[in-house]
Amino acid sequence: MTKEFDAVIVGSGINALVCGAMLAKNGWRVAILERNDQPGGAISTRTDVFPGFTVELLSSWHPLFLGGPAYADLASDLARLGVEYLNTEDPTGVVCTDGSAVLSTNAQRNAETFGGLGDLGAWNAVMSDFGNKADLAFGLLGTDFWRPNSGKLGWKAWRQLGRRGVMESGAELLEPAGPWADRTFSSPVTKALLAPWALHNGLGPDDASSAFITKVIAAAITLGGMPIPVGGGVKLVDALCTIVTEAGGEIATSTAVQKINVIDGKARSVLTSDGNTYTASKVVIASVTPQSLYLDLLDEKCVPEKYRSAAQDYRYGRAGMQIHLALSEPPRWNNPDMANVALVHVLDSINSFSESVNAANRGFLPRRPTIVVGQPTTIDSSRAPEGAGLLWIQLQEVPRVIRGDLAAEITHTGDWSSKVRDQYAQRVIDQLQPHIANISSGQTGKIVLGPADLEGLNVNLVGGDPYSGDCRIDQYALWRPLRLANGHNTGIKGLWHIGASTHPGPGLGGGSGYLVAKRLRERRR
């Protein structure tokens, strides 16, 4: 069967859905084709895993979406379709060897916290300096570098900062978080509170630009908190799908795209696993990894050799793991301040953070991982039955292939067998035990997702990499996805590339979907 649309989108993650919804609002008929049986990609809300609970199996926190331009474009439609966001005054905190602290959206509380840590002057200076350049910083992350007007940002920076200032800011932009935290703050607790946020952009404290990312996220969280949608990310997914179908589009699940057909140099249609052809009168947009796009979906003869070779060299980052725990009562933290915090990092110190990232990069299971403990019910109480507790635990310092165990406890054969996965999960729970008294005794349900499970849930998470590609600077910004610096343009007429593997990278902001939809909308005008 052949079906006809204006745009055909491969995959249904946040970028595909944002892109599809924006084009649909512009009057386009859009088909979104998804190989899984549900749309959403790394948004996977499940009500069937623990009875009575709503569990975000993968991504959970939406500050990037609410703070980004895609939300601004679609907010009125999302509200009309019932998407409602809740927020918190206590978005993040840390429990480390030297103490604990909470970063709040309340400036007075932050002044007390940093004052108590002896870092108030330093914190104020960081925020004020960042505030002066915030439009440039956020502009850099949201700019479509490949449009003629992207030069405006550089010009603005030049006018605002001068030649010397631009040079200085360039060095600041590349600084790693570890040295920055060491030279800026005196308390190990402040360092451990802020630096682990680099993880959430795929970086470690010794990676270039991790200080910049830490500052961006610290500012974004203190201003915007940690919003999540009532009832889970599925509500956002459903609403975005509705915007597409209301305009005559289609969301086809259990429909894997096998080929993108290029005729006379232009992408014209796609062939799906069930033998159907979806034709695209205007564009085909692929939200897949570079390797899938250039080496698999496109015929070899359509792709210039330099694209194939650059795609071959595209690198994946560390893997991730998720542990979900249902508890008979809310988590009993030793430090009661943590009970209301949405996302707590539990680690020894910035030094253990550095050790664990490097261990995982080199193929070793960390001894003392940095543990991300999410507590969705602190914001949306509907996620668990009354009186019960729910923990969303994330690990981002996980080797994709195992070479060894830094603690020399877990034996392995290189692969992520379920035995190795569960033993490592137990190390994490044992590490949390001194901080959360009922983490073991109160368990009524447990799910552990290792790297292989993540890839099984979403093929774009290659080797369990939650960010669909290493985010270090040589593969970020201008050089994401390919070192050819071609951006979302595939070099094939009518074919665009979006998703976490493309600029501006991973996260629920929907940035690449937004940038491509905006570009296409403006073209049509």
Footprint (CB under 6 A) of ligand FAD, residues 35-74: 35-36, 41-42, 58-61, 64
Give the residue from 392, 391, 449 showing the smallest Cα distance to 424.
Answer: 449
Instruction: Name which of 31, 44, 58 is nearest 451 in CA terms.
Output: 58
> CB 119 → ligand FAD: shortest distance, Å?
27
Binding to ligand FAD by residue 396, rule CB under 6 A?
no
The correct pick among 137, 189, 285, 508 for binding ligand FAD (CB under 6 A) is: 508
Q: Does 22 bind ligand FAD (CB under 6 A)?
A: no
Look up residue 270 and give its two tokens.
């796609």
Q: Minimum distance from CB of 35 to ligand FAD (Å)?
A: 4
Stretch that binds ligand FAD, among 8-16, 67-75, 151-159, 187-195 (CB under 6 A): 8-16
Minimum separation from the CB atom of position 525 to ligand FAD (A): 25
Selected range binding ligand FAD among 169-177, 208-216, 217-225, 504-512, rule: CB under 6 A: 504-512
Across 55-182, the runs of DSSP E, i.e. the strands, are 55-56, 85-86, 92-96, 99-103
Of 34 and 405, the one with the shorter C-beta distance to ligand FAD is 34
> Which residue minimizes CB distance to ligand FAD?
13
Instruction: Tell me: does residue 242 bind ligand FAD (CB under 6 A).
Output: no
**286, 497 Cβ separation under 8 angstroms:** yes
CB atoms within 10 A of CB 410: 17
Site for ligand FAD in 301-340 (CB under 6 A): 320, 322
Identify the CA nearest to 13 among candidates 495, 477, 511.
511
User: Minimum distance between the CB of residue 318 and ligand FAD, rounded to whole angstroms?
Assistant: 12
Token representation of residue 245: 């179908």
Which residue, chain included where needed, has tokens 């590609």? 469
Say how far apart CA 516 and CA 477 lie, in whole Å. 15
Select 16 or 326, whichever has its Cβ closest to ligand FAD: 16
Q: Which stretch in 145-153, 159-167, 237-245, 451-459 sits in contact with ligand FAD by CB under 6 A?
A: 451-459
DSSP class per residue in 236-264: HHHHHHHHHHHTT-EEE-S--EEEEEEET
Site stretch for ligand FAD (CB under 6 A), options 409-417, 433-441, 478-486, 505-513: 505-513
288 part of the interface to ligand FAD, by CB under 6 A: yes
> How far apart are the C-alpha atoms of 274 and 253, rounded to whole Å?
11
Residues ≥6 apart with Cβ < 8 Å to 452:
415, 416, 421, 464
Can you tell me which residue has the tokens 């206590």?
Answer: 90
Smallest distance, Å, CB 228 to ligand FAD?
A: 9
Q: Is 13 in the site for ligand FAD (CB under 6 A)?
A: yes
Give me the count of residues in the chain: 525
# residues near ligand FAD by CB under 6 A: 38
Closest to ligand FAD by CB, 369 or 499: 499
Which of the residues 248 through 267 are near ligand FAD (CB under 6 A)?
256-257
Output the smallest distance, CB 271 to ligand FAD, in A.
11
Checking 102-109 for CB contacts under 8 A at 24+ apart, the result is 102/337, 102/338, 102/341, 103/193, 103/194, 103/218, 103/221, 103/222, 104/222, 105/221, 105/222, 105/223, 105/224, 105/225, 107/222
Task: Enumerate binding residues for ligand FAD (CB under 6 A).
Answer: 10-16, 33-36, 41-42, 58-61, 64, 256-257, 287-288, 292, 320, 322, 454, 458-461, 466-468, 499-500, 506-508
